[in-house]
């Protein structure tokens, strides 16, 4: 779970020239618990409906769109007003149960919980 | 001549870009250097015909933990991002998110109605609307 897929070379990369979307790599916090991993991503302003957390083979891709933060008809004073998209990929360890991904979006933070496979969980063996 | 008004409005947002004889921006420049323990949220400022919109990024902060103060034309966004409860037996594998206090101060232009400033918190973003005074709005003058 700890490894991150390095596909982009910068922190905030302007990609996809066809559409000029501003791709932002969100800040992340990863916690390992005995039975799961908790991944938190800062995605302020993301539209809830656009958030996806997808596992393909051993890669977790999280993406979300930010639309219309600014009202229309403005003359820009600072910052970047292009439509933005958050995206970050993680390669998953063997012990991650890719069948169950749980995601919760609150206050601009996405919390993704990945459970570990049963056979990797610590267990107690009864001595008979 | 009419449009000369607007650049003047802009300048106050960026006190460091040009030397000014105003003491308040200078004072805050100094404070910014001292208070490095604070995080400064990212802020976008957009001007509209009749108002100025400020959008600050403060994800993970509850509305109750944000303070917005306006004093003498100086707007301060401050608060605290509390760390989520950490479960026992958990180990941090990666930490890019910072918790703790944050603060950002903006000098508002003079030609705004400070009595009517409003704010809304949505999805980790704080939207602040500052209406311009009538006198600062672009007007069309009829030629007789």
| Domain segments of chain A as ranges | 27-68+83-120
Could you tell me which residue, A55 or A67, shows the higher pLDDT?
A55
Residue range B55-114, pLDDT digits in tens: 999 999 999 999 999 998 899 999 999 998 888 889 999 999 999 999 999 998 888 998
Confidence check: pLDDT of B23 > 50 = no
Confidence check: pLDDT of B140 > 70 = yes
CB A101 within 8 A of CB A112: yes
CATH tag, A27-68+83-120: 2.60.40.790
Chain-centroid distance of CA A49 in Å reads: 14
- What is the pLDDT, as a whole number, of residue B21? 42
**CB < 8 Å to B84, chain A:** 40
- What is the pLDDT, as a whole number, of residue B58? 96
- What is the pLDDT, as a whole number, of residue A77? 57
Any A CB within 8 A of B66 CB: no
**Model pTM score:** 0.74
Pairing relation of β-strands B43-47 and B51-57?
antiparallel
Confidence check: pLDDT of B31 > 60 = no
Chains A, B: CB pairs < 8 Å: 110
Residues with Cβ < 8 Å from A76, sequence gap 6 or more? B46
3-class DSSP state of A38: strand
Note the ipTM here: 0.75
């Amino acid at each position: 779970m700890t490894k991150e897929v390095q596909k982009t070379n910068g922190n905030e990369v302007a990609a996809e020239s066809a559409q000029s979307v501003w791709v932002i790599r969100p800040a992340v916090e990863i916690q390992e618990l005995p039975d799961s991993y908790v991944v938190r991503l800062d995605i302020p302003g993301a539209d809830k409906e656009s958030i996806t957390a997808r596992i393909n083979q051993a890669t977790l891709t999280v993406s979300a769109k930010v639309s219309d933060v600014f009202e229309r008809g403005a003359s820009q004073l600072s910052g970047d007003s292009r439509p933005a998209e958050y995206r970050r990929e993680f390669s998953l360890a063997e012990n991650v149960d890719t069948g169950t991904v749980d995601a919760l979006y609150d206050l601009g933070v996405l919390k993704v919980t990945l459970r570990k496979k049963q056979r990797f969980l610590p267990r107690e063996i009864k001595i008979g | 001549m009419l449009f000369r008004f607007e650049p003047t409005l802009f300048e106050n947002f960026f006190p460091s870009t040009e030397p000014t004889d105003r003491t308040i921006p200078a004072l805050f420049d100094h404070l910014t250097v001292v208070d490095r323990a604070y995080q400064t949220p990212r802020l976008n400022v957009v001007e509209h015909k009749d108002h100025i919109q400020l959008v600050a990024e403060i994800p993970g902060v509850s509305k109750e933990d944000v303070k917005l103060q306006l004093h003498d034309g100086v707007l301060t966004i401050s608060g605290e991002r509390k760390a989520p409860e950490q479960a026992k037996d958990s180990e941090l594998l990666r930490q890019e998110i910072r918790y703790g206090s944050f603060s950002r101060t903006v000098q508002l232009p003079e030609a705004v109605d400070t009595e009517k400033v409003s704010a809304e918190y949505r999805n980790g973003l704080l939207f602040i609307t500052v209406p311009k005074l009538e006198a600062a709005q672009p007007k069309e003058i009829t030629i007789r």
